[in-house]
Amino acid sequence: MHLQALRLALLCSVLGALTQVRPVDGAKILAVYAFPGKSHYMMHTALIRELIESGHQVTMIAAFSLESQQLGSNYTELLIEPVYDFWHDVKLNFGVQHLFDLTRMKNYDFLKMLEIIGLKTTEHALLQPKVQSLIHATETEGVFDLLLAEQFYQEAFLALAYKYNIPIVTTSTLGYENHMSQMMGLITPWSFVPHGFMPFTDRMSFLERLRNTYVSLYEDLDRLYNYFPKMDNLAKQHFGNVLADVPKVRQMEKQISQPKNVLKFLLLGFVALQHFEIGAGSRILAAFFFPGKSHFMMTNAIIRELVQRGHEVTFITPFTLANENLGSNYTEVLLPQFNIWRTILEMSKGKSVLDMTDMDTLTFIKMAMVMGSETTNFAFEQKEVLNLINAKDKVGKFDLLLAEQFFNEGALLLGHLYQIPIITMSTFGFANYLSPLVGIVTPWSYVSHGWKPYSDRMSLSERIDNVYSSLMEDIIRQFWYYPAQNEILQRHFSKQFKDLPTIKQLESNISVILLNAHMPLEPPRPLSFNMIPVGGLHIKPAQPLPTEMQKFLDEAEHGAIYFSLGSQVKSADLPPEKLKIFLDVFRSLKQRILWKFEDDKLPNKPANVMVQKWMPQSDILAHPNVKVFISHGGLFGTQEAVYHGVPVLGMPVYADQYLNINKGKVAGYALGVDYRTVTEEELRYSLTELLENPKYRDTMRRASRIFRDRPLSAMDTAMFWIDYVIEHRGAPHMVSEGINLPWYKFYLLDIIGIALAIVLLPILGLFLICRSFKSNKKQKPKSKRH
């Protein structure tokens, strides 16, 4: 079963890259496994065999023959003959006579040895006549669809992808290697991630961290200034005559198409075969304090699914599901509605949500923190919540705490009191402040703050602003927000419970974070094993529309436009002069318009416009006649638009809406307008462009295919990880040791301090000696003349 899961997982990885260029049935794959290490071929052989059995045509440059396995006509082998004897190079360069002599080899010598072996075996393979035929072939278009290569000191072969204009997937037989971080735009913290050739765990002493930092830094510098130039020369020597500009190895590595870590595919492959046989009938306590309606699109979808799958769910919520009759295994603790709008309007100094458009990022961050503290405090004042907190015999009553990761961290206390693992759901998706919770470093150089409108290609001024906002948020959380949440816990529970944990201690108990995010709506960024993207899980198969609405769309000869500003922003709050602009433009269009409008009447409504206070948004976007979605850019609505392939005209108001729309503009499936300055001409032009230029719909359809293309559905992925955490009693093996390190150790400041002292103290000592010498010379008395 596990072998099948491995094969399925690897196949998913390869096919994921293939879908970028063509349908995956019968793809033509060029595989390069030239390193003559027999143990490596355990992985290679399994993958190649599975690809062939799945109907793909594989041409393999191989150090060892697979012909004895009779893989069939879909397999073509380019065998490297003779097998290169790399032990000769090892003995010649390092004086090693036997394999066991490697135990005495220093780490940097071992790295040097691998580089020499890699260069020699690559050159030997490139000189093979059959390989030369591939390099100098005149027909290249459509010959192959993918290059599959080993990630092990054979980088010159990546030039074949440029020769045949195909994407690249590499397989790392050695697993994770620190030097891969640069390839994927990551930062590997050497403070708790040991080098692959060091015997350390993720709990290193000072001396171990010092050695680990030295070896890791040495490898990076050696690869940059010694190994890469040699491999570049090798690539240029063999591809210089067939490629006008042979790319350097570091440039070629950036074209590798494998964006996700293999473990995630392995686990998901295992899920598909196990089919959720574990965890049925667990008892789950779900605590969701924040009264934001849009947040509960994700929350309610998960609660319904858990109940449907047989789990017993006790749900603390400000929005009732009692009318859905979920069954006897559903218990609801209903919170009274807390008025968050008082805080919003006070801090935005406005009269409606639309006035939040002018709010700066730091004020918005503070506002969210204030709302979080107020709603947490309000929830702890409720009698039924206090009953849960003060209940006797807590141990064994629940198996899991499910909570929202959105400024209500006090709710994590329930996990501590009931001694159960915790899974949080980030309805907001990725947020930079999550990084310290899982022990990773988020590079602010290309990862935009969630409430900034920047893409992952920022200018200098944008990076300055992004760094400032991200840093200030971290500082505010550390020195203002965390103390505020801690004070709430102390105020309510210090008398009942001794040794009350702090919020940061509670956060360290989080097993998994379910993220409301998924490609391509999120660009690649650092992730930990316990950060699971499940964006779009709230989207259900399309249901029939109400009769009048269905008829309205079915008869839209020229298509239709759907207009909604979500659950918080209201179209009815638009200034009268802006409403007139929309009405005048809509009146001039051939298309019909469905408009979610919150007032009973809309004066001067054109005949081609239908308005209602509520509309089934996802079902509307699924209708084939809907051509454009006018949206505020909320995350859930954007996901629905991408899922159904409908181009977006964005009109963002606050928070992540700017970023969501800007991502769509950069990707080419959205345009944006500012409601404060939009003119009739600009609105008409934008709608006409989206309606008549096919590039927007084509781009959105590609985005839709990527968003939908997953080993498992978003909901099945979420359900698996909930069951997984319960089954493995919190899955502590998924939690990074980085969360337990003090900040100065995490960022290696103590190691940097020692290194600076070693360099600067001798210089300082020399300076003081010289200064003392000069001082003594000046003070030396002159000899008297007699």
Q: Could you tell me if 189 and 739 are in contact, meaning their C-beta atoms sit under 8 angstroms apart?
A: no
* Terminal Cα-to-Cα distance of the chain (whole angstroms): 106
User: What residues pair up with 673 in beta bridges, in sequence order?
Assistant: none
Q: Examine residue 199 and state whether it is found in any structural domain, yes or no.
A: no
The DSSP secondary structure of 266-332, one letter per residue, reads: HHHHHHHHH-S-S-TT-EEEEE-----GGGHHHHHHHHHHHHHTT-EEEEEESS--GGG---TTEEE
pLDDT at 727 over 90: yes
Say how far apart CA 685 and CA 707 lie, in whole Å.
28
Per-residue 3-state assignment (H helix, E strand, C coil) for 50-101: HHHHCCCEEEEEECCCCHHHCCCCCEEEEECCCCCCHHHHHHHHHCCCCHHH
Do residues 46 and 10 make contact, with C-beta atoms less than 8 angstroms apart? yes
Q: Report the percent of the chain where pLDDT is more than 90.
A: 58
- Nearest 10 degrees: Cα torsion 589, 595, 598, 599: 40
How many CA atoms lie within 13 Å of 705's alpha carbon, on the beta-carbon side?
13
Which pLDDT value is given to residue 89? Answer: 81
- Structural domain contains residue 728: yes
pLDDT at position 260, please? 39
Strand partners, 332: 315
Determine the pLDDT at residue 263: 39
* Residue 14 DSSP SS3: helix
Which residue carries 């801690």 as its tokens?
Answer: 486
Here the CATH number for the domain that contains residue 180 is: 3.40.50
CB 390 within 8 A of CB 496: yes
Q: What is the pLDDT of residue 353?
A: 78
Tell whether 204 is covered by a domain: no
Q: What percent of the chain is predicted at pLDDT more than 70?
A: 92
* Predicted pLDDT of residue 250: 84
Domain count, the chain: 4
At 678, which amino acid appears?
A: V
What is the amino acid identity at position 340?
I
| Whole-number Å distance between alpha carbons of 1 and 278 | 15
Q: Within a 10 A sphere around the Cβ of 600, how many other Cβ atoms?
A: 8
Residue 423 pLDDT > 70:
yes
* Three-state SS sequence of 341-374: HHHHHHHHCCCCHHHHHHCCHHHHHHHHHHHHHH
Tokens 């709010």 locate to 359
- Give the pair of three-digit tokens for residue 121: 């075996």
Which amino acid would we find at residue 703? A
Q: Is residue 208 part of a domain?
A: no
Query: Do 238 and 291 share a structural domain?
Result: no
- pLDDT at position 25 is 63
Question: By C-alpha distance, which of 654, 701, 693 is closest to 671?
Answer: 693
For residue 263, is it within any domain? Answer: no
Q: pTM of the predicted model, to two decimals?
A: 0.85
pLDDT digits (tens, 9 = 90+) for 640-650: 999 999 999 99
Q: Is residue 614 part of a domain?
A: yes
Average pLDDT over residues 372-392: 94
> Which of the residue ranges 229-233, 348-352, 354-358 has the most confident prediction, judged by mean pLDDT?
229-233
Q: If you search the block for the tokens 């029939």, which residue do you land on?
A: 544
**681 and 626 part of one domain:** yes
Residue 229 pLDDT class (50, 70, 90 cuts): very high
Write out pLDDT tens, residues 508-547. Answer: 999 999 999 999 988 888 888 999 999 999 999 999 999 9
Q: State whether 479 and 619 are in the same domain.
A: no
Q: Do residue 437 and residue 383 come from a single domain? A: yes
Residues in the chain: 786
Helix (H), strand (E) at residue 28: strand 28-33
Report pLDDT for 276.
44
Burial class (CB in 10 A: 0-12, 13-18, 19+), 657: buried
Q: Answer yes or no: do 166 and 309 share one domain.
A: no
Q: Determine, yes or no, domain membership for 637.
A: yes
Secondary structure class of 58 (helix, strand, coil): strand
pLDDT of residue 9: 47
Q: Are residues 504 and 365 in the same domain?
A: yes
pLDDT of residue 196: 85
Indicate whether 202 belongs to any domain.
no
Closest CA to 478 of 441, 524, 430, 436: 436
Residue 22 has pLDDT above 70, yes or no: no
The count of C-alpha atoms lying within 13 angstroms of the C-alpha of 330, restricted to the half-sphere facing its C-beta, is 20
One domain, residues 607 and 645: yes
Q: Do 533 and 551 fall into the same domain?
A: no
The residue range of the domain holding 144 is 2-184+213-254
Q: H-helix or E-strand containing 51?
A: helix 41-53
Report CA-CA distances (Å) from 661 to 569, 622, 641, 668, 724: 16, 20, 12, 10, 35
Q: Do strands 531-533 and 510-515 pair parallel, antiparallel, or not at all (unpaired)?
A: parallel
For residue 17, pLDDT over 90 is answered with no
